[in-house]
Amino acid sequence: MANFLIATVVGALAGAALAGSALAADIPAKAPPAAPSWSGFYAGVSLGARWAANDWRTSNVAPNFGANLFIPTAGTGGAMDSVAARFGAYLGYNLQVATSWVVGVEADFGWADNSKAANSLPGTAGVMFGAPLVGLPSGSVKETWDGSVRGRLGYLVAPATLVYGTGGVAWQRLGLNASCTVVPGNSFCFGNPHNETLGTTRVGWTVGGGVEQMIGRNWLVRVDYRYADLGTVTQTFFTAGGVGVGFDDRFDARVKVHTHTATVGLAYRF
């Protein structure tokens, strides 16, 4: 009797195992998840810093009187650099053209308060009639908003990780200021006190790159760096009221404008 019960149990278990194997064979295997696509529009915000690297050169001092002869530093340059926090926003479109390549276009806008002042401008120190010049002009360089439109080319080192390069056209709002007062002695400004500001929007080029990570299927986080060359600004200061009988307060400023921008960004992909 015992042998009969054991044989019955073993047979039942064997039948159940065979039935389970057949049922499992009928269930299709689960397909692996599809790789995420990078194609589509996206918009995001960024936070970081902008370094302004500016070189100020003063030349052509008092051209009616050839005062450059008395100012041996005229024509030389000095750094007017600054760093400031930058807040920005960006909008773009990606197209995944192959398994590992992504191309796109992007526009961005940012604001930072870069400002650097000098209480005697580079290239203004000198000696006249055997005595040092006094009342040297002071000034500043200020950058506020910037923007760019760029192309992008990226390589997927992993399905959700993009390494990219970028380049295009850049804009930068720039302000130059110069001022001086008339003081006793060999005053740099001999005729009138002056305080002048030039506001201009520079256009140049920018290049850079970064790393972007897809989180889920709709969020993109990035670390980004760009360099921009905005050319050289030339401005003649103190033309208004700066020339008269026996005096000429004018001088030329030549400022080379460069920026370095590093940010982290978070974007939503539509």
- The rounded radius of gyration (Å) of the Cα atoms in the chain is 34
- Cα–Cα distance, 188 to 207 (Å, whole number): 41
Which domains, and CATH codes, for the chain? Answer: 39-269 (2.40.160.20)
pLDDT score of 22 more than 70: no
Burial of 257 (C-beta count, 10 Å sphere; 0-12/13-18/19+): buried
pLDDT recorded at residue 71: 85
The separation between the first and the last C-alpha atoms of the chain, rounded to the nearest angstrom, is 72
Find the mean pLDDT for residues 63-90. 90
One-letter amino acid at 227 equals Y
Confidence of residue 32 (pLDDT cuts 50, 70, 90): low
pLDDT recorded at residue 255: 97
Q: What is the pLDDT of residues 115-141, one digit of tens each?
A: 999 999 999 998 877 788 899 999 999
Find the mean pLDDT for residues 6-25. 43
The whole model's pTM is what? 0.84
What's the per-residue H, E or C state across the chain? CHHHHHHHHHHHHHHHHHHHHHHHHHCCCCCCCCCCCCCEEEEEEEEEEEEEEEEEEEECCCCCCCHHHHCCCCCCEEECCEEEEEEEEEEEEEEECCCCEEEEEEEEEEEEEEEEEECCCCCCCCEECCEECECCCEEEEEEEEEEEEEEEEEEEEECCEEEEEEEEEEEEEEEEEEEECCCCCCECCCCCCEEEEEEEEEEEEEEEEEEEEEECCCEEEEEEEEEEEEEEEEEEECCCCCEECCEECCEEEEEEEEEEEEEEEEEEEC
One-letter amino acid at 264 equals V
Q: What is the largest CA-CA distance in the chain?
A: 136
